[in-house]
Amino acid sequence: MLGHGYILHYAPDNASLIVRLALLELGLPFQTRLVDRTVRAQDSASYRALAPTGLIPALDMGDQVMFETGAILLALADRAPQQHRGKLFPAPDAPQRGDALKWLFFMATTLHADCRLHFYPDQYAGQSPAPPDFCAATRARLLGHMGLIEGAARAQPDLFWHDGAHDCPSLLALYTLPLTRWLRLYPEGQKPWLDLADFPCLYALAGKLETRGSAQQAAQDEGLGPTPFTAPTLPNPPEGSPT
């Protein structure tokens, strides 16, 4: 790790929020570097050298630079200081590791991927505006994904929130809840279609997360307001833009 900590390349209210939350929960020192979306800095040669996909975030871990949110989260959990091993994610030899991995990869490759189709429908539909049927089908899939995660959180609550020695959210909660925030806010101007109260386990987790110092610090740093997960509002970040 860098002597002064990690460097998180971020934009406010982007997927970097998920990584910020994990860094704060683990108590790891880090600095931030703004990827200015207003000038499409994510497409610059310097940023593409860090993240060839041009997606945010990238995390400089000192010995390597990681991109892809799920990969970053897993690397952080497995490289955490000894006192935090197993805090956010089961250790490699833990019995629950397999179940946690399944849901982490589902979030990264399925839920998050369909979120992008919802946020940028014109880009993925290949025409502007995107056909209503395309948007409706995307929303239907997202509701199905949310139902599956709600079921997992109900059946295996300790996969999402650790009680006992580590009373804290897991990577699964830290990944899911920002996605539910964005599904209610973006694209801006959309008609309401998702009510988190329809998913009571996730709604309860959202309320618990908002009481955490990590979430409060992230909300302050990115201008997310006092209820970023239960009743989200558009951000007012101190620097940069979410879009």
**Nearest of 189, 166, 168, 186 to residue 178 by alpha carbon:** 186
Query: How confident is the model over 92-104, as pLDDT tens digits?
Result: 999 999 999 999 9
Query: How confident is the model over 54-68, as pLDDT tens digits?
Result: 999 999 999 999 999
Tokens of 73: 């989260």
d(CA 121, CA 118): 5
pLDDT value for 199: 98
Least trusted range by pLDDT, from 43-47, 84-88, 193-197: 84-88
User: What does 79-144 look like in DSSP terms, one character per residue?
Assistant: TS-GGGTTTSS--TTSTTHHHHHHHHHHIIIIIHHHHHHHHSHHHHHTSSSPPHHHHHHHHHHHHH
Confidence band (pLDDT; 50, 70, 90) for 81? confident
Could you tell me the fold of the domain covering 97-212?
Answer: Glutathione S-transferase Yfyf (Class Pi); Chain A, domain 2 (1.20.1050)
Domain boundaries, the chain: 97-212
